[in-house]
Amino acid sequence: MQSMAPAAAPPAAPLLLPRRAASARARAASLVAVRAQPDTTSVASTSAPDPPPDFKPPQGFKPPEPKKFAVKEGQQGSVLGASLAIPLRLGTGVFVLGYSPSLVSPSEIPSDQYALEFGAWKVKEESKIGQCKRPEKPIEIYEFEGCPFCRKVREMVSVLDLDVLFYPCPQKGPTFRPKVLEMGGKKQFPYMVDPNTGVAMYESDDIIKYLADTYGDGTVPIMLSLGLLTAITAGLATLGRVGKGNSYTASKVPPQPIEIWAYEGSPFCKLVRETLVELELPHLLHSCARGSPKRQEFFKKMGTFQAPYIEDPNTGVKMFESAEIINYLKATYAIYASS
């Protein structure tokens, strides 16, 4: 059943969210408004000014160099498990709307343009997303990683190349689960709030349709339109990482959302998302599936493109590399039981 609830005005943050989450939201909006400026220093640095006193990079922290497509020793099983979703979901969440690749000679692509290298060729990637309306403020979604219905919505977010402020709701999560109950009347996930239109809703299929109509061309990819089959394959897709990204790990929630450049189809990104969810860390996703124009913005700023990449305004840390990002998040935000 559709539970779309258009409000007269966008939901008022202070009424709906805990103070820390409301301020996170305000910060997220301003982060989106002030787009990243070209960074001519190092690819990964710890240079943000005045980190809040409570959150500091771990002692001796040094951001790693990006290593494209490299799987760390000990990470093979996790990457393989997270990759299982790609064939099961026929690549949904890997590509943006209207994606079309072509192999071209490297001389056809200027050196300041992002392009994937493929042997002696470069892959020119185009999409239809540039013709679609973009939300001014990030969409807000309350969900958790291991839920197949949430996965469907995240795939659509990647297809539509949307920036989304995620409020993780792992089982027993004390912070955002109760907020969903407060806002929508039930603890059911995913739950979406669009601050641009005032629309808030449950039900993955309704959210997907709403996003397609509002920020796409009205079409829903076939793999998201198959009813029970979609739900079953989305469920099977989580099997490679069963038990991950579902349960709460005690954490200190920072005042500002962590920014992440990622997309649903990337196994490396999924591993980081699991940790963000388990630690209940609000994060502003800059979705960047294949064909996303944000890849070129990123390339221009950083001189390379690789996802996942995070910028943590709470500590000033900016870093690549999934395994190290996970270690960083745990070291900075997890509360370990002292024994």
Q: Rule CB under 6 A: which residues touch ligand GSH?
A: 67-70, 116, 266, 268, 305-308, 321-323
Minimum Å distance from CB 78 to ligand GSH? 10
Name the residue among 312, 252, 282 with its Cα closest to residue 17: 282
> Given the complex with ligand GSH, which of 233 and 322 has the nearer CB atom?
322
> Given the complex with ligand GSH, which of 13 and 88 has the nearer CB atom?
88
Strand order in the sheet with 100-104: 100-104, 121-126, 116-118
> Given the complex with ligand GSH, which of 230 and 306 has the nearer CB atom?
306
Minimum Å distance from CB 120 to ligand GSH? 17
- β pairing state of 283-287 and 258-262: parallel
> Given the complex with ligand GSH, which of 68 and 172 has the nearer CB atom?
68
Residues 65/43, Cβ–Cβ less than 8 Å: yes
Please name the helix (run of DSSP H) or strand (run of DSSP E) that holds residue 27, with its range, or none.
helix 19-33
Minimum Å distance from CB 299 to ligand GSH? 9
Minimum Å distance from CB 97 to ligand GSH? 18
Strands (DSSP E) along 26-70, which ranges? none
> Given the complex with ligand GSH, which of 75 and 197 has the nearer CB atom?
75
Place of tokens 């790990």: 249
Instruction: For CA atoms 233, 239, 241, 242, give the dihedral sign.
Output: positive
> Given the complex with ligand GSH, which of 209 and 294 has the nearer CB atom?
294
Residues 142/176, Cβ–Cβ less than 8 Å: yes
Minimum Å distance from CB 124 to ligand GSH? 13
- β pairing state of 199-201 and 283-287: unpaired
CA–CA distance from 136 to each of 29, 34, 194, 293 (Å)? 9, 12, 10, 16
Give the pair of three-digit tokens for residue 54: 């409570």
Minimum Å distance from CB 23 to ligand GSH? 29
Reduced to 3 states (helix: H, G, I; strand: E, B; else coil), residue 109 is coil
> Given the complex with ligand GSH, which of 82 and 253 has the nearer CB atom?
82
Minimum Å distance from CB 267 to ligand GSH? 6
Name the residue among 177, 134, 179 with its Cα closest to residue 13: 179
Minimum Å distance from CB 115 to ligand GSH? 8
CA–centroid distance for 248 within its chain: 18
> Given the complex with ligand GSH, which of 268 and 333 has the nearer CB atom?
268
Phi-psi region at 98: left, alpha or beta (left = phi > 0; alpha = psi -120 to 50): left
